[in-house]
Amino acid sequence: MRLPIILLLSAIFISPASYDLHNRSADERLRELIAVYGQALVTIDYPGFDRATDIGRTLSLDRYENGLLRIILTEATIDSFMKLGLPYKIVEPGYPKAILNASSVTDAMQWQSYPTYTQYDSIVHLLASQYPELCRVDTIGESVQGRLILSMKISSDVSFDDPVKPELFFTSTMHGDELAGFVLMLRLAEYLLENYGDDPAVTSLLNNLQIYINPISNPDGTYRSDDYISNPRRANSNGFDLNRNYPSPDNSGVTLQKETIDMIAFMEERRFVLSANFHSGAEVLNYPWDRWLDRIHADDDWFVRLCREYADTVHLYARDGYMRMFDNGIVRGAVWYAITGSRMDFVTYELQGREVTIELDNTKITPADSLESLWQYNYRSLLNYLAFALNGVKGTVTDSDSGMPLFAEITIAEHDRDNSQVYSCSNSGTYLRMLDEGVWDIQFSAAGYHDTVVTGVATGYDGYTTLDVEMRPLSTGDTAVTEGSMVIMPNPAAHYTRILLPAALEGEVTIRIVSIAGRVLYSAIKSYYSDAPLLLDTSQLPPGLYLVKAGRRDERSLATGMLIIR
């Protein structure tokens, strides 16, 4: 195996002696560091949970440890930080680490160096060309500077988007200076493709799942200087932390970046039931919620089992001390420190998926000679993580008269909360509800249909429990379906829209905005009166066509309309 060639040092190193720190203020020094490195790290004394959470709404919190809150500043956030007037200490950058940039695609695919951006693009397309029946390249979007954000779809008969096979998503390096996951995701893609047909576990994954792998979601941060990785930074080219940039009710003032908008559109088009995003700077699995300390996800036991199995498997193969933070390698997000606008919370709450943040290495810029070890520590756990989507309750929801697929809400009685319900696909009627071991009562609800409740559904971790449901339409006397009677204005809309509904819907109504793929992107209960249209904030929706549904369950009334976001 050829050793990679050191082509470039990771950063421009400015000797501390070149600064007369005694004659410069700390504020000036901060701005100098940002000018050279693209970012600066400061610490403040931990101000308490509520105050730290408030600070994190506008600034990029790196982490909390040993009584100190670490904050990363860029040109986009330095002024906001200065206005807070907080006492702080600068963490001076150390001597630069040499980043081993591969000399060629062949060199990079030894997985002991970092590819250039051009080599990365070539590797992704090379894998797709070598395994055309198993791998397809999708473009999620472009970065601010125009670099492609790529994803590989890996599955048997990859050209067919199979509604029966659950979709999963691995994504890495949304913080541009956290590099280990970038190489691990490329190597995982190669491993899945090379071992299909030979390894029974891998074969089962590709036969039963549709796996999407996005090795790097912030290429501008990683390749800040040029085609080589020489001076990566956390933020995108506009200075925004992409893992604080997702919309949520408590993050409503955020300016969505292009990378975020494109990623949201990509995820909304697909129905990812399980996903993970990979980081460095710690060694721990971080599960929902990031933003709520006093609220626990309905499937908390399931999340703990998912993370526990990953970490415990790692411990069988890793060096002593690896991935042992908090509860022996796992932690609920806000217990560590609370943030708003995280991708994990957005996916889990807004898209009804299940996502975990996986921190792979205490060192953000993993030395190249450690990449092999990290792969050996983690690859079995990565496969096990994907296999979690091979369990749960799975089936189709159809109309009992016509057999046509239905878009239905699937809830677990006395269990679901905070958007933990799932939905069947409007095109195929298929659904998957991953659950911890137990016996559950499951309710299926769809506009214009009688609720269907199935009791005593048993689940475990030895495969799917199949539950197909036929829903009985309401009779003419039961419902007043008022299709097309909704008035939407303006339409097309941009930042907001107003909705007028029939008089029959006065009172409490449930409003849902649904993507063409069947994803519920907005759901709220509002009080409606015919003399006052409902005002909906649509600023977070990417351009496209959406179905708007308004209904009252008590009177079984329904109004629908098509909304265009420009």
pLDDT in tens, 375-389: 999 999 999 999 999
pLDDT at 96: 52
Is residue 95 over pLDDT 80?
A: no
Phi, psi (rounded to 5 degrees) for 450: -65, 140
Alpha-carbon distance of 234 to 373, in angstroms, equals 24
Mean pLDDT throughout 175-197? 98
Phi, psi (rounded to 5 degrees) for 249: -55, -30
Mean pLDDT throughout 536-565? 78
Lowest mean pLDDT among 48-57, 67-76, 176-185, 500-509: 500-509
Distances from the Cα of 93 to the Cα of 7, 12, 39, 362, angstroms: 22, 11, 10, 16
Alpha-carbon distance of 500 to 185, in angstroms, equals 48
Annotated domain spans of the chain: 9-91, 124-389, 392-471, 480-565
Residues 458-503 have pLDDT tens digits of 999 999 999 999 999 987 555 444 444 688 888 888 777 888 888 7
Burial of residue 468 (number of CB atoms within 10 Å: 0-12, 13-18, 19+): exposed
Contact 64, 337 (CB under 8 A): yes
Is residue 332 over pLDDT 80?
A: yes
98: confidence class by pLDDT, cuts 50, 70, 90:
low
Alpha-carbon distance of 514 to 508, in angstroms, equals 19
Six-digit token string for 522? 């907005």
Phi, psi (rounded to 5 degrees) for 87: -65, 135
Contact 333, 258 (CB under 8 A): no
For 392-471, CATH gives: 2.60.40.1120
249: confidence class by pLDDT, cuts 50, 70, 90:
low
Mean pLDDT throughout 149-170? 96
Distances from the Cα of 395 to the Cα of 4, 160, 352, 444, 469, angstroms: 49, 19, 17, 12, 8
pTM to 2 decimal places: 0.84
pLDDT at 160: 92
| Bigger pLDDT: 502 vs 37 | 37
Lowest mean pLDDT among 190-194, 227-231, 343-347, 473-477: 473-477
Average pLDDT over the chain reads: 89
What is the crossing angle of helices 180-195 and 371-387, to 10°?
Answer: 60
Q: Is the peptide bond before 336 cis (omega within 30 degrees of 0)?
A: no
| Bigger pLDDT: 11 vs 165 | 165
410: confidence class by pLDDT, cuts 50, 70, 90:
very high
> What would be the CATH architecture of the domain defined by 480-565?
Sandwich (2.60)
Sign of CA dihedral 50, 53, 57, 62: positive
Is residue 511 over pLDDT 90?
A: no
Mean pLDDT throughout 273-289? 97
CATH fold of 9-91: Alpha-Beta Plaits (3.30.70)
Distances from the Cα of 558 to the Cα of 67, 410, 423, 426, 547, angstroms: 54, 19, 18, 17, 13
Same fold, 124-389 and 480-565: no
| pLDDT > 70: percent of the chain | 91
The pairing of beta strand 355-361 with beta strand 422-423: unpaired
Distance of CA 517 to the CA centre of its chain: 18
Lowest mean pLDDT among 31-35, 76-80, 498-502, 556-560: 556-560
pLDDT at 19: 36
Mean pLDDT throughout 69-97? 90
pLDDT at 527: 78
Sign of CA dihedral 385, 386, 392, 397: positive
CATH fold of 124-389: Aminopeptidase (3.40.630)
Is residue 13 over pLDDT 70?
A: no
Alpha-carbon distance of 205 to 317, in angstroms, equals 22
